[in-house]
Amino acid sequence: MSVIEKWRIEELALVLKELLGSLHSGENREWANVFEHFLHEAELLLLSDPLQTTACRQLVQNILCCFLEGDSFRRLKLLPGDSENHERQNRSFRRLQARLYHLLTELQSRFVEYVH
C-alpha cells in the first residue's frame, strides 16, 4: 500500500480552509457547509496515528465528486456581477479550485499500488 505523508493531508486542510473562507465571503453557504465537513474529516485524519489510508482515500474521492462534469461546484461563480473587484475574486476562486483539484489528483495517484 502506498504511504500518504501527513504533510499532504495538512496541505489539503490548508487549501480547504482557504476555500471555505472564499465560499463564506461569496455567501455560498451551501458549498461552504459541504467543504466545512470535508475540512473536519481532514482534521480528524490528522489526529490518527498512523494515518488511516482507507479514510484518506474516501475523503479524496468524495471531494473529487464535486468536480464531476455537470456538478454545480465546477461551474460556481463566487460573486455575481461584472465589477472589477468581483472579477478579481472570481479569478482567485478559480485558481483555488484548480489548486484543490491538482492536490486531490496528486493524492489519488499515491493510492495506486504498482505491482512488479
pLDDT in tens, 61-81: 999 999 988 778 888 888 777
Whether pLDDT at 112 is above 80? no
pLDDT tens-digit series, residues 19-62: 999 999 888 889 999 999 999 999 999 998 888 889 999 999 99
Per-residue confidence at 2, pLDDT binned at 50, 70, 90?
low
Q: Kindly write down the DSSP assignment for every residue of 21-49, as one continuous string.
A: HHHHHTT-HHHHHHHHHHHHHHHHHHHSS
Grid coordinates representing 23 are 465560499
**Could you tell me the residue ranges of all domains in the chain?**
6-105
What's the number of CA atoms in the CB half-sphere (13 Å) around residue 51?
A: 20
Taking the C-alpha atoms of residue 76 and residue 26, their distance in angstroms, rounded to an integer, is 10
pTM recorded for the entire structure = 0.88
